[in-house]
Structures are given as C-alpha cells and as structure tokens.
Structure 1
C-alpha cells in the first residue's frame, strides 16, 4: 500500500477508525470496492449502535467501545480526521508497518484517471467562507464545481458519485492534512495561522507543519497571506514547500498589491499576479462593496478565493459575479436587527480567539457578548487589541472568568457584566444587559471566542438563542 493508486481492493483487510461523518462513507466505499472492512470505534452510544447496525447489514464488521487494538490481519487503517496521532491504535500500526490514511487521502487515491483538480483552502479561520466564495466564483465562470471536504459534502461522495466536476473547491482542516501525505492540489491557500488544536498537534510548529502540507506538490499557485505576522507565517510555509516546477507564490493583502499579489486599491479588489506584465499592469476584479459582509477579514477571504480562481484561469468578471452571488452562512457576522439605533450582530461561529479578533476589528464601538468553553485559549492579546473599541462586555459560560481577568488587566475602564448562569435562558439576560450598556450607534456583538457546548448543543443553537433574544427586545 505504497504511494501509488490502489486499483485492486478485493479482499484487502482495511480497518476504519471511527464512525461519524467520515468513517461511515469510508466504510461503505471500501466495502463497495470489495475490501474486507472492520470499523473500530471508541464510543458505544445509541448513535454509534445505530450506525453500526446499518454497516453490519451490508456485511461490515463493527467493534464498538474498542478503538485501541489493531484487528488481526489489518493491511491499512483509514482514520477519522479527529483521531489523535498519539493513540495506541496508531502506535500498533506503526510497529506492524501498517499505513494510516485519512478520509481525504482515501478520496485522493480513489479519484478516476480524468478526475477534477482540487483547489484547496486551509487556515485557522475563514476556510468555509473562502471555499464557498471560491465555488461561487467558479460557478459564475460556468464551471461544474462543488464546495467539499471539511464543509458538509463528503470528498468521498464527490469523488465516487455520478456527478462529473470540472474542478473542486476543497476545505481541509489541519487534522485532515496530517493524514493526507500524497495529496497534491492544483493550487492551495493557507489563509492565516493562529494557535488552535494545540492539544491535538502537540505544538504550534507541528500544527503549522500540518497546515503547510496543503502546498506540497502544487502545480500553479501557492496562495499566502502577505499581511500575516507571527512565526511561522504562511509565506514561510510556502518557502518550505516542495512544489512542481513553475508553481508561483501569490500573496494577498488588504493594502495595495505588489507584483504577484492581489490587494485593494481605492475600494477595488485588484490582481497583479495573473496579468500580462505584472510589474506594470493590474486587473480590476470587483469592488469592496461586492463582498458580503465587507469586513476586513472577509475581504481577505475574498482575495484568497479570487487568487485560487484566477490560478485556475477564470475571467475577472466571474470574480465579481461570484462574490455578488455569495451569501454567508448563518451565524457568521449576521445582521440580526437594529433596535433603538443599536445594531445587533450574530457571530456565534467565532468559536476561537482568532475568529473573534477579526469580528471585533470590524466595528468601532462594541458591547461584546463573550464566553463559553475556552479550549485552553488565553485572552490577553484579544482583549488588548480590542480594548479601545469596547463600550462594555457581557460574559457568559463556563470559562468566562478567563475573559473577565483579561479585561481587568487590559481594559480596566470597560464596564463588565458577569452572568453566573449557564442555562440557555442566560442569553436573553445577556442581550438585555447589553442593551442597557449600549448607546445609539453602537454594535452589540455576539463573538464568544469560545466553543458553545457548555450551554448549547452547538454554535448554531447559541446564535439562534441570541437572535431570538434580540427579536424579543424589538417586540
């Protein structure tokens, strides 16, 4: 099971690690190709038993509650992306010389001979929005495409399904890239790098290294964030990548672009990378007002999407039309209502400090609703950067004390309401307290910088609760 395509799966013993959104399609696909499939899963709850019963009906063996021991005769492991590299199962595989692939690696290897090329996007924040913008631009150019990967549509389904695509817009997480050694994209972008999932990767260096894998073997363009600070930067990752001859580094910036960059000049998104004579010429692509919403971090997403689409050869008009046609996901800087001159914005999807930082940078005078599960994050840098924009803060959730302490250190003059409740009804009280602190012209911003599971099933439910509470104010 080396690096080449596996054409004959008949009778091969494959262990699928983990049920869930990637494991079940992988087990089905491999079984359909004739492999002898065993699924191992740590959990043994009602959902797992339901999924196991469906697979067992096909003839797949499922072992629930035992994800640690390697089944006898295993020749390959296909793992769910979230399974940590330090699990005993993988140590056993290493000792036995058994390769480990992720679902992305499996999809890459199962592509047909004339498969659609992949335009890949990774980064700590903005991946989903950028991939959706990219798909919208490619569609505007008349191409058959889909937004796939870490975004809903399984890559396996896209690769093995009946539908023929010209090109795929692929969102990849650091987990997926860790387990995808032979992936080679047409072009790829790393949007940004900030500490995240360090418990999984072990260090910032390891996290950055896995993100940087997206550039390996790129053919046309490695798209990087020219505004990024910190080490390693996305440009550092491009420098370290082993790419095909002729592949170019293409930067995007919110400032005026240099040669081989995309950027912004007087409210216009312009391209100085994919034009004749880029030393002197620039191509207008779209107006900043064509980006929805036109917040700085989202303009950066649009530039990255435009760079990948241009690398694939789409005309400038398709960039404009695709950005105009794009509508962002719910709970991503969503305008809920204006009540008594105050704007209420739902960015419940800002589940980490980097996403919240981008959100806070988009408004001038903010009453900030924040808190939840911190996942090991610290908040000093976030609060220090946003302090001058804060009218007040309302804190909810289990780890709110971490944010309260950062506010006391870096924004001691900002009034803080600390809500001790963690029941779902706390959101209505949070919105009422925020209304009390706000003045006409202010923005009440739900950008929690934390995960939601201490109080809500997911960030969608948290955003819904916020929107419902705002509607009750308006009523």
Structure 2
C-alpha cells in the first residue's frame, strides 16, 4: 500500500491516481468531494447509510458513470474496504463513527471535505482563503465579506458552510482571486491542516454539545481556524474567549491580532466613532487617527450583533488590502437573508419579527437585546443548552413568552426560577397549525409598541423541516391572523 508521503503538501497535479479514497457521506459536500477526486484520477468508493432519495440516486448514477463504486443504504458503512488508503468524511460524521475508528486503527489519513479542497488547489494560482467561524453570525458575515470583496473588483465566492462546496470552487477552471470561507465547528474538527490568509472567530457560546463531549473541545475547535494564519487574526473585543484563542494560536510570524468592537476602537481595532465604522488597524497613522469605512446608515440592520458582523467583514477585507470605498459600497449593497431579524408585519402597533435563524441561546440573546418590550417565541430542540444566562440577561425586556416544541420545558424551568413574574403560554406540540396557536397566544400578550419576536434559541426539526420552514410558517400565520 502506498504511503502517500506527498499528501500533506498535495495540490491538483499531485499523483492522485495512487489514492484509493472512501468518501463517507453522500450529501452535497460528499458528492462534491467524490467528483473532485475522480476528476484528478483517484479511485473512489462512496459509503452512506440511510435510504437514498431520488436526488442521491441521480448523483450516484453520475459518479458511477465516471468510475466510482457507490454503496448506499442500510449497512453500507459497516466496514472500511481493505484497499482504502484515505478516508474523506462529510462534516457532520460523528467523531467516533466506525469508519473513522477503523481508519485510525490502520493509521490512515482522514480528511474533511474542507481539508481535501485545500489539497486540490491549483499549484499555479491557488486562491487565498479568508475564513471565519463563530457560534452565530457566520453566514451573514461571510456574505458581507463577499459583497465587499466584489465591490473591490475581485472575483470571489462565498463557500464552505454556505453556498457552493469548497471543492467545486477550487476545481473551477477560471481561478478566483480570493475565497470567503465559512467554516462550521464540524468542518474545523475534521480539517486541522488549513493555513488561511486571515481568519475571524466572531463569538463562542454553547452549541452542538450533543456532538462535542465538552464545551472546552467545542471552543478549541473554533480556535483551529487561526492556526497557520498569515496576515490577521480577527477577534471580538466583547468576547474575551476569542481573544484568548488568538493568543493560543500558532500563526505565521508577522500575523497581527485585530480586534473589533461596537465601542470606540483602540489601536489595531475596528469600531464605532459616533455613527462611523472606523479603522485603527490598517492605516499607517493608527496611533493617532482612524479611517472612515462606512456609516451606520449604510448597514441593513442596527442590531448590535449585525454591526459587529459588519466590522468583522470589514476587518477581514481590509486585511486583504481592500480600499475603504469598497467596504462602504459592499455594505451598502448588502441585504440580510430571510429569517434573520426580518420584519414580517406591523399590526395594531405590534411589530412581528422573524429571527428563526436564532437556533441557539447566544443568537436568541443577541436578538432579544436588539428590542425592548418583547413577547418572545421560543422552543424546539434545545441541543443540550441551558437557558439560564439568556433569561437572566433578557428578563426585564420580556412582556411575555410563548413556548413550543419538544424541549420547551427547559425554557419554562429557567423562566420559572429566574423570571417568575413573566407570563408564559405553553402551546405544546399540536399536530397541525402550531404557528396559528403561537401567533394567537403572542397577540394576547402583546400591547401596542411591543415586538413579537420569533427567536427560538433551538433547532427546528422536531416540528419543521428547517429553520426557514419555521420562519415561513410564522410569517404565514401572522398574515393569516393579522
């Protein structure tokens, strides 16, 4: 069996025909990984449990035509084929999945899809990667970053945990100038060998503790994004954990720590001065002056966490040499995705806001702190989270709470202990029309001038196919019952 000593420094022109790869998982990233490996001449076997749907069968037919061995369905991942010399894993694969355990027992390389993409870059013109992670705000920030880079005239794409798989981008025959890469904790755990041009950790709060055994591991996994950074490690001044992750990182000599703050910035920071996004990091006169990047009126939302997202995107773009005017133009042209603090309607003086994307307590807390006098709609799959800190911080803003979903009892318990005077309506888990019940209950609690806020702090799949479907159901119920 070939030792593959070249794999750590691999690129598109490496001898991939020596590789017999098993791709574990057959979602979008698994398909992209398999197709990329076939393109460079590797021998590919795809293994995936579960009954394949029509889309998976169609993808399987394409790959089989190209020479892959596709094994889908129950029992497909029972064992690792003997000929395997590389295992490529899809992001959500459990750490102790039997295929990963088997690969470790045989000392085989295990690559995440992101790690594979890094090794499939063109040797002639490998596009630099600017990466970011965080418990919340990743997608919005990488979209802002992409908008700014495009405003500077650069060919770029938002890839990774958003948009197109990274393998597709690095295999594109037309080279990119730079890639804006959103990285989840799953992707980072399986891809420890990245060396990004610049990177940011937006924030760290409890999430995915059903996958990570401890909060410490989850935090350290986020910090992996800084290792090997060349130009800038961007951290959140208001989240000391992110700064500590920068201190702990093994970076290239000369790489700078750049802070972002929604307050007045110090030296080597970006922040807010009056209504101006100000840069005291990427100008020669930073000891005594700041450069104006944009104004608050250029942003799509003045919620504090979205201002922080804009500052992080600006810092990453500035680390790549983007001029100030491109930061302004990119932020002006940016619009938030649906279900991110999206106003649905105003009815009888009550504003209805859809922030269904707030799928953990950190995101829900940020959303709640953007409003006063809130009827909070919360609940779903809690993912092992505690709601105590959120309730302590937000209780004085709560006009009332409407609870739904399988883990609503966790939230009800925190409210009973820490905010016993706040009215709570539990709509439970009705078999149909759950959002009609929710909106009617919220309407009974709300007064003119209040905000009814869907910021569940929980995942959605106990009652809805996705957070988007949950937000759509909320909006439909508001319009139907308004």
Aligned mate of 1:311, from 319, 334, 346: 319
Which residue is 2:202 aligned to?
191
8 Å Cα contact 2:298-2:332 kept in structure 1:
yes
SS in 2 for 1:40: strand
Q: Give the secondary structure class of the aligned counterpart of 2:440.
A: helix
* Other-structure match for 2:470: 462
Structure 1 residue 24 and structure 2 residue 31: aligned? yes
How far apart are 1:197 and its partner, in Å?
A: 1.4
Q: Distance in 1 between matches of 2:324 and 2:191?
A: 32
Does structure 1 residue 80 correspond to structure 2 residue 90? Answer: yes
Q: TM-score w.r.t. structure 1 length?
A: 0.97
Give the Cα–Cα distance (whole angstroms) in 2 for the partners of residues 241 and 54 of structure 1: 42
1:356 maps to which residue? 364
Determine if contact 2:136/2:363 at 8 Å carries over to the other structure: yes
Query: Aligned-pair distance for 1:11?
Result: 4.7
Deviations along 1:39-66, one digit per CA (max 9) or x if unpaired, are 1112234354454344323321122232
Which has the larger displacement, 445-454 or 40-49? 40-49
Say yes or no: does 1:240 pair with 2:248.
Answer: yes
Aligned to 2:294, what secondary structure does the other structure show? strand
CA distance in structure 1 between the partners assigned to 2:91 and 2:82 by the alignment: 23
Q: Hey, what's the Cα distance between the residues in 1 that align with 2:461 and 2:320? A: 39
Q: Which runs of 5+ in 1 are unaligned?
A: none
User: Structure 2: how far apart are the matches of 1:305 and 1:425?
Assistant: 39
Match 2:413 to one of 405, 410, 419: 405
- Return the alpha-carbon distance in structure 1 between the equivalents of residues 192 and 437 of structure 2: 49
Task: Report SS of the residue matched to 1:198.
Answer: coil
Deviations 1:278-312 (A, max 9, x none): 11111111112221111000101001000000101
Task: Tell me, yes or no, if structure 1 residue 3 matches structure 2 residue 13.
Answer: no
Match of 2:235 in 1: 224
d(CA) in 2 for partners of 1:421, 1:18: 32
8 Å CA contact 1:223–1:250 kept in 2: the answer is yes
What pairs up with 1:284-299 in 2 under 5 angstroms? 284-299=292-307
| Residue 437 (structure 1) shift | 1.1
What aligned pairs does 1:251-290 form with structure 2 within 5 A after superposition? Answer: 251-290=259-298
Q: Distance in 1 between matches of 2:332 and 2:452?
A: 26
Q: Paired residue for 1:449?
A: 457
- Residue from 335, 340, 360 that aligns with 1:327: 335
**1:460 positional shift:** 0.7
Q: In 2, are the aligned partners of 1:368 and 1:445 still within 8 Å (CA)?
A: yes
Equivalent residue, structure 2, for 1:108:
118
1:217 counterpart SS class: coil
1:196 Cα shift? 1.2
SS of the residue 2:413 aligns to: helix
Preserved CA contact (<8 Å) 2:209 2:385? no
1:91 counterpart = 2:101: yes
Say if 1:68 and 1:87, in contact at 8 Å, map to a contact too.
Answer: no
What's the CA shift string for 1:403-438, capped at 9, x where partnerless?
A: 111111111111111102343401012111111211
1:137-216 maps to which residues of 2 (within 5 A)?
137-216=148-227
Q: 1:38 aligns with which of 15, 38, 45?
A: 45
CA distance in 1, matches of 2:365, 2:174: 39
| Residue 92 of structure 1: how far off its partner (Å) | 1.3
Cα distance in structure 1, aligned partners of 2:432 and 2:27: 27
CA drift of 1:182 comes to 2.1
Equivalent-residue separation in structure 2 for 1:424 and 1:285 (angstroms): 49
Q: Quick check: 2:147–2:334 contact (8 Å CA) kept in 1?
A: yes
Other structure's SS at 1:3 match: helix
Preserved CA contact (<8 Å) 1:398 1:422: no
Give the equivalent residue in structure 1 for 2:139: 128
Q: How far, CA to CA, are the matches of 1:234 and 1:214 in structure 2?
A: 11
- State the number of aligned residues: 471
Between the aligned partners of 1:157 and 1:149, the Cα distance in structure 2 is: 10
Whole-Å separation in 1 of the counterparts to 2:126 and 2:309:
27
CA contact 2:232–2:258 (8 Å) conserved in 1: yes
Stretch deviating more after TM superposition (460-469 or 159-168): 159-168
Contact 1:393 1:417 in 2 (8 A): yes
CA distance in 2, matches of 1:20, 1:120: 22
Looking at structure 1, the residues matched to 78 and 387 of structure 2 have their Cα atoms a distance apart, in angstroms, of 36
Q: Are positions 1:427 and 2:435 aligned together? A: yes
- Checking the alignment, whether the CA contact within 8 Å between 1:250 and 1:260 is kept in structure 2 is yes
Contact 1:422 1:454 in 2 (8 A): no
SS of equivalent residue, structure 2 residue 425: strand
Q: Which residue of 2 aligns with 1:393?
A: 401
Structure 2 gap segments, 5+ residues each: none
Instruction: Determine the C-alpha separation between the residues in 1 that align with 2:8 and 2:432.
Output: 50
Q: Deviations over 1:77-105 (max 9, x none)?
A: 11101112212211211121210001111
1-structure distance, mates of 2:176, 2:41: 25
Deviations 1:123-154 (A, max 9, x none): 11100000000001111111111111100211
